[in-house]
Amino acid sequence: MRRDLPAGPVSVDPVADDDADLADLLRRTVAELTRRYPDYHPEPYVGDAEYFVARLDGRPVGCIALVVHDDLPGVGEVKRLYVDDSARRAGVAQALMSGLEARARERGLTRIVLETGNRQPEAVALYGRLGYVVVDPYHPQGWNEVSIFMARGLAPPEE
């Protein structure tokens, strides 16, 4: 069954961590993660993150966070990528990733890493299309039976 997708352009903007739209999107992110991984109950907010909200036709439909860890020089981490069901397959996730990568380049980062899971095949496929490849775990928790670690290098910012 085909559903009609919103037609407007996607905008991606930085937001403060107390933004109401972000709070709602993060709540839905955690609900989705817990639905797919019943034993996993993450906190909605990630410490020291820069957050972005995507809007389609002016409506908040997705979010993402960029985290920079002191122990990973030059590396940014993708956290909390989420797109509302109503806006999936409309380019929102790709716009969020592009916005995050642009910000990472502005900050002088040269590599982006992320952790996804084997119960999120659409996310793994998206990251693969964007040039991310599977890598060894980059954080101390390391491998588990569901985690998939991916990364890609960033080209320098365009002048």
Q: What pLDDT digit, counting tens, does each position of 28-74 carry? A: 999 999 999 999 889 999 989 999 999 999 999 999 999 999 999 99
Terminal Cα distance for the chain, rounded = 44
Question: Which pLDDT value is given to residue 155?
Answer: 84
Question: What domains, with CATH codes, occur in the chain?
Answer: 10-153 (3.40.630.30)
pLDDT, mean over the chain: 92
**Percent of the chain's residues with pLDDT above 90:** 83
- Biggest CA pair distance of the chain: 47
Query: Region 92-103: what's the mean pLDDT?
Result: 97
C-alpha to C-alpha distances, 10 to 13, 47, 64, 103, 119, nearest whole angstrom: 10, 26, 14, 17, 26
Note the helical H segments in 92-137.
92-106, 121-129
Query: Region 106-121: what's the mean pLDDT?
Result: 96
Question: Which pLDDT value is given to residue 37?
Answer: 94
Whether pTM exceeds 0.85: yes
Question: Which pLDDT value is given to residue 79?
Answer: 97
